[in-house]
Amino acid sequence: MNLAKLHDHLIATARANPPSDAVPYAFETRMLARLRMRPALDHCGQWARALWLAVAPCVAIMALASSLSYFAPAGNGSGDLSQEFENTLLAAADQEQPAD
């Protein structure tokens, strides 16, 4: 498509059809000014919308994780999560260091 030819055709068509008297005074100026105005970006609103959209998947994941931790059998039989966590964290400290 030849853009220059299209441009010339559109300009010729616009010149052949003059604007009617029904158009209010300075209508095109007001419309162009309104089109140039852009609303300010609301960053807080965008974050709030994104967080509200993320609520449902987060609740579903939380419910799934809760049900898995409640209904899953204990691996080593102790069932005490605090002891398992402490043993995991202190595993490196409990190992004997080789003598130099």
Phi and psi, residue 79, nearest 5°: 75, 0
Q: According to the model, what pLDDT value does residue 13 have?
A: 92
Q: For the chain, which residues make up each domain, given as ranges? A: 42-71
Is there a contact between 84 and 78 (Cβ–Cβ < 8 Å)?
yes
Tokens read off for 74: 């204990």
Instruction: Tell me the pLDDT band of 20, cut-offs 50, 70 and 90.
Output: confident
Instruction: Tell me the pLDDT band of 48, cut-offs 50, 70 and 90.
Output: very high
Listed in sequence order, the DSSP H helices in the chain are 3-16, 27-36, 43-53, 55-71, 81-89, 91-94
Tokens read off for 10: 């559109």
